[in-house]
Structure 1
Amino acid sequence: MTTLITGAAGFIGAALAKALLARGETVIGIDNLNDYYDPALKRARLDDVRAAAGNRFAFVEHDFADMAGLNTALAGYEFDRIAHLGAQAGVRYSIENPHAYAQSNLVGHLNMLELARHRGVAHMVYASSSSVYGGNEKVPFGVDDRVDHPVSLYAATKKADELMSETYAHLYRLPLTGLRFFTVYGPWGRPDMMMWIFTGKILRGEPIPVFNHGEMYRDFTWIDDIVAGVVACLDHPPADDGAVKPGGSTKPHAIYNIGNNRSEHLMRVIGLLEDACGRKAEIQMLPMQAGDVPRTFADIDAIKRNLGYAPTTSVDEGVPRFVEWFRQYNRV
């Protein structure tokens, strides 16, 4: 089995590559190594993947939003399925640089659908986001909830990806699965994410920015639990049998939440970070910022029922493990 992973130098992409390689599979990774955050971290992730890969990992440095170049770059490779995890990430950055999201998340997603169609892959799993739920007041968030009121451009692009995928499943009977990830954290995480930012600032004795005056709740999901869900989905493409799939489609297109099924109060998580760092945080309380939501909470009944998904890592265990990795990686 050979899997093409986009965003292979990213947080989730690199972790998925290692998991598939550990099963004896072959992985082709593609990533443009852009400078949204330090490319050195992306290259370090790739080195970590290669260390466990033998000759079963190939890396292609390319932007999948460039369709002509994508076909040329992948001309010599064959693959059975695609894990399309690459995207322009970040809710807040979408306000500053909207065109980056249109190019990567809309044009890029369409390119990957076209690649999957013309290559006749058995299944493409793609990354959506819990952000599609917007300010949904019903908790936990279920895959059948309405998601047509996004509060950020990032969320809007992810909802658009789901709509494009539904169209391709209908027109070409292409098996597709969209995954709405909930606040992923763990080793090799992203520097623009809360867990990384807060840990660094606490260790340096700098104030941490806490929005909505601390009344924030997130469904924090450990990276290994996320990867377990992605692998389970890759292994089980939705059937083209007319049955209603999670998310409401009757086409070979399923949508799942992947979360920890716990909505943690931000101040409790800050307390765990303080304990792990061995020092108190200096907290700067701020109002809610544009594009953000006060709460996320994943209903995972569908993926649990259909694929046996069961997250195992609580924040009480995960936060100290992340801080330990952070200290080692950053030598602090």
Structure 2
Amino acid sequence: MQDDVIRQPLLVEVAIEAASRAEHEKLVTALARLAAEDHSFMVSLDPTSGQIVLKGVSESHLAGKVDVLNRADRIAVNVGAMQVAFLERPTTRAEVAYTHKKIYGAKGDFAAVKLAVGPIDSGKGFHFESKIDESVLPREYLPGVEKGLKDVLACGVVAGFPVIDVGVELIDAKYHDVDSSVLAFEVATRTAFREALNMAKPVLLEPIMKVEVVTPAAFAEAIAHDLRLRRGQVGVTNVQDDTVAIDAILPLMTMLGYTNSLGLMSQGQATYTMRFDHYAAIPSPTGDPPFRPAIGIRA
């Protein structure tokens, strides 16, 4: 049961910070408690800004956590704009060789790796395989290779979002009896992997949602038109008496703040449900990549 909860996609994220330095530790403690209580809620540190980022399954999910902080824990917080939690994936194969070499007097750092990187089947996540013999690279250095890969997987090259559905093969390596170390292979692998992902034509993936809006017939046409403007594919419309149910499939990015918009269009009489359907590449061109969530607080 718990594993099923963990697999729920974390579709929305927001940056948060304590309103004062004095409350920072109190905020960290409260967030740790909330994350322990709810496995569909995650707290992380943005690697670029250093700000705390909350991730959850919906806008209302994260809004509820902020409300708990304000009301139950009595912590004043600054909250950024809600952002969609995008993903990244490569679309083609690329090979990169990289050598990390530094000299510090009599000793130095040395590690050389060659990686082949490419897309794998949707839903497979990440697969790593070493194609070289232990005589080429002793197994003691493989943990450094794996750590370097995991660091990049958590923060991709397009806009800093997690990388999925990617396969990596270690196809060659070199080491030095004195200067090589696990850390040196971590550094070399991290640099090679980032370069390979850039060459592998990565794309941003956005969550696509199934939406049903139930509304009085008088507002149905305007609501359906609005859904199309949000890049929605409006499907079958069911009519029963004076009530209309509108089905649509559309990007979550266009649905942020929809509760307020729907209320205005229907004079508060329409309701909607929304659930995750699949991820899809963002249509190109879309202009600049979406801002990281921490930008919301600065704006």
TM-score (norm 2): 0.22
Higher strand share goes to which structure?
2
TM-score (norm 1): 0.21
More RCO (CA 8 Å, sep 6+): 2
Bigger radius of gyration, 1 or 2? 2
